[in-house]
Amino acid sequence: MATYPIFERKNVLVTGGAGFIGSHICERLLRDANVICVDNFITSSESNIDHLLQHPNFEFVNHDIIQPLHIENLTELDHFKVKYQGIQEIYHLACPISKRNFDDFKIATVLTNSVGIKNILDIAVKYRSKMLYASSSVLYGNRQDGGKEKYSEHDECHIDHLTSRGAYDEGKRFSEAIMQTYADVHALDIKIARVFRTYGPRMKIFDGNLLPDIIMNALDGKDINLTGDEDTRVSLAFVTDIVDGMIKLMMSPVDVTLLNLGSDQDVRLVHVAQLIMQLTGSVSHIRFDTPSMHYTEPGLPDISRAREILGWIPLVRLEDGLKKMIDYTKSHRHQLTF
């Protein structure tokens, strides 16, 4: 196997780098790495990376990973010396995500979670790159046992691959399987982060996401409709905490593969809405909607392994995180179209 030297900074590839979490990873990595951000804006936004485009150690590549990506042929990356240095790390977050328009991207989703990840793994094999995959807590299924259960990495996955969301849910499970298969066959150092509900600046505002919808309605004085009742609970981790966990996971020993990343603290959803109303000075009213037959209430992550192995726990207080998200929404709500 070829060995690639590192000249000054390591080269890091981030797929889905213009997305919500991906853009925060790109921003963080620029402290000590050359960052190659790959995205096709199918459900992400150029505004998420506008502030990075002029950075000398950042390059954006507009590409759909369903098609093979030949990094070494891109002349815009010559100053990163990819032909000689290769790619040291890959953060793979590319996956179409849209709560409001999920059906519009089903084919793109299922292909990204199959052909797309295969194409990125081929890059990892070529350059002997470490690779981290952003998986999802959706694999654990619904909250069980009266809502008190925490899911550990040893728990079985419980999903129905033939539902209308199979392209995403089963796609995430298949992606984990192909990651492990490539690791077994090619001796790759792979990492899988099962990410629980994450919030923060750069979440899509007009796409049916829980917190952006609450914040927008609070700012506009509209009714805040919550699914469930006053006892409905959520788990919320701020995006910079999740990014910190991913970077620590990437740096972990080769025998560390799968970890949960998220908040293990239960918060009543009505309390979150009331806190947002308080922070925005809103006069909105909270109303409760009856859950649909397809409604699911995610469980909590057991993050004991991440705490023990990585020394990682979520640090951002809910109130502080919501303030940052509210400030972002106020300054961007008239610039964003989705």
Residue 168 annotated among the catalytic residues of the structure: yes
> Longest Cα pair distance anywhere in the chain, in angstroms?
63
Contact 137, 94 (CB under 8 A): no
CB-based contacts of 318, cutoff 8 Å, min separation 6: 236, 267, 272, 275
Residue 1 burial class via C-beta count within 10 angstroms: exposed 0-12, middle 13-18, buried 19 and up: exposed
Out of 168, 182, 295, 328, the active site residue is 168
Neighbours of 106 (CB within 10 A): 16
Contact 35, 12 (CB under 8 A): yes
Instruction: Give the separation between CA 147 and CA 169, rounded to whole angstroms.
Output: 21
The CA–CA distances, whole Å, from 307 to 21, 76, 85, 248, 262 equal 21, 40, 33, 11, 11
Catalytic positions: 168
